[in-house]
Amino acid sequence: MAQSKTEARLPLAGVRVVDFSRLLPGPWCTQMLGDLGAEVVKVEQPGAGDVARHNPPSYRESSVYFNSVNRNKRSLSLDLSKPRGREVAHRLIARADIVIESFRRGVPAKLGIDYDTARKLKPDIIYCSITGFGQTGAYARIPGHDLVVQAATGLIAAAANGGTATVPGFQAGDYAAAAYATIGILAALNRRRDTGMPCYIDTSMFDSLFSMCNIVLTSGMAHIAGNRGAQAMEVWGGNPRYSIYTAQDGRAVAVSLLEARIWKSFCDLIGRPDLVSADESHSDRHSSHGERAAIYRKAIQDYCGSMPRDLLIEKMLAADIPISPVNSADEALEDIHVRDRKLIEWVEHPLEGRIPQIANPLGVSGLTDTQRSVAPALGADNDAILSELGFGDAERASLRSDNIIGT
């Protein structure tokens, strides 16, 4: 596959990825690899494809979500349940550097695309499995959905802060696994360059998110170390200087006045120097502030409630004080800082016309290119990929007629 001058400068130019994953963690990871310059072939079941193709909302026809995690890939529709489908998959693997899958434990072996098979086909293969709870352990057979993963790590209970637990608004387990998968693959590539070693990466949503819950788990870690009376870090709304408040027009703002210096700046601005305590210590930063909490909370709410949200934010920006709007999705996309950081890019889609996409933040460093290709239609690259694998015209026609690659 010919590469543009831009691609040739990207860190993963020339690296080949076979992506058997679906939904979020795997596709986000492989999109990142594609943004970094890798050639990614997304393998999908003929007919429905990746079920994320059907997630609402849509542009005109295709899923907004699917487009957001599948750029810079080519699509091969392939029935892995049939021997001839597995033959095609084996040819793909044999020329690949990286294989990623997100099937339930044991399914890759049934489909003939497991690590042992992949290593026979390509001895130095880097193979990444992404599951909810990993390949071993008591929960290994449980399907990996973000909600149950977040619940099991302790994150949801911590965010409830003693109140009623609610469904989180961010898929932290999915993205944690995607990030660790990407890091693991890049590390394995670097090691292989020096040693030639293959690598099997067992990435689980649970392990990945658990490792990021160091703040969530601080109290528990103190307890198991024997300090049952340890003070908890307060970052869940109990700290009046780190919480959500309401402006005069009923719109919410996020207030982050943790450090003594920032708190003093805010108190001076609102004409309440009496709120500044000379004996405030570093340990007070993430506390509930004890008997001062009610006084602090009233002063902050009185000030936030004295003016409309946009005027409040304007004043805070002018004073470099971290109080921000609680943006809706529409507001976030139109936020002035999103514009200044060029975090929304517009691309031409062959079916949808001009559509927005979220830019890769590494682009400003020259490490990624998000403009190479939009998310592919199902099986859009069947003929090109099969030709590269050595399948002639008659063989491709046979694979099509037998519905190995879809019609």
The pLDDT tens digits of the residues spanning 65-121 come to 999 999 999 999 999 999 999 999 999 999 999 999 999 999 999 999 999 999 999
Q: Measure CA 232 to chain center.
A: 28
Domain covering 13-212+344-401 assigned CATH 3.90.180.10 in the classification: no
Amino acid present at 38: A
pLDDT computed for residue 284 by the predictor = 80
Q: Which one-letter amino acid corresponds to residue 44?
A: E
Beta strands 252-256; 74-77: pairing state:
unpaired
Tell me what percent of the residues of the chain surpass a pLDDT of 70.
Answer: 98
User: Mean pLDDT over all residues of the chain?
Assistant: 94
Domain residue ranges of the chain, discontinuous segments joined by +: 13-212+344-401, 242-338
Q: What six digits make up the tokens of 117?
A: 């098979």
Note the pLDDT tens digit of each residue in 367-405: 999 999 999 999 999 999 999 999 999 999 999 999 999
pLDDT at 3 > cutoff 50: no
**In this predicted structure, what is the pLDDT of residue 320?**
97
DSSP code, position 174? H
pLDDT number for residue 32:
98
| Within this chain, domains 13-212+344-401 and 242-338 share the same CATH topology | no
CB 242 within 8 A of CB 235: yes
Antiparallel, parallel or unpaired: β 344-349 and 323-325:
unpaired
Name the more confident of 283 and 14. Answer: 14
DSSP string, 196-234: ---EEEEEEHHHHHHHT-TTTTHHHHHHHTT-TTPPPP-
Instruction: Tell me whether residue 154 is exposed, middle or buried, using C-beta atoms within 10 angstroms of its C-beta: 0 to 12, 13 to 18, 19 or more.
Output: middle
Residue 8 is predicted with a pLDDT of 52
* SS3 call for 171: coil
User: Which residues contact residue 69 at a Cβ distance below 8 angstroms, ignoring those fewer than 6 apart?
Assistant: 24, 27, 28, 31, 52, 375
Pairing of strands 353-358, 344-349: antiparallel
Q: What is the pLDDT of residues 229-280, one digit of tens each?
A: 766 778 888 899 999 999 999 999 999 999 999 999 999 999 999 999 988 8
Helix (H) or strand (E) holding 120: helix 115-121
Question: Which region among 160-174, 190-204, 218-232 has the lowest average model confidence (pLDDT)?
Answer: 218-232
N-terminal to C-terminal alpha carbon distance within the chain: 24
pLDDT of 1 over the 50 cut: no
Cα–Cα distance, 67 to 51 (Å, whole number)? 13
197-213 pLDDT tens trace: 999 999 999 999 999 99
Average pLDDT over residues 20-47: 97
Is the pLDDT reported for residue 407 higher than 50? yes
Residue 41, classified by CB atoms within 10 Å of its CB into exposed (0-12), middle (13-18) or buried (19+), is buried
pTM of the predicted model as reported, rounded to 2 decimal places: 0.93
Contacts of 254 (CB under 8 A, 6+ apart): 243, 244, 323, 324, 325, 326
CB atoms within 10 A of CB 307: 15
The pLDDT of residue 4 is above 60: no
CATH topology of domain 242-338: formyl-coa transferase, domain 3 (3.30.1540)
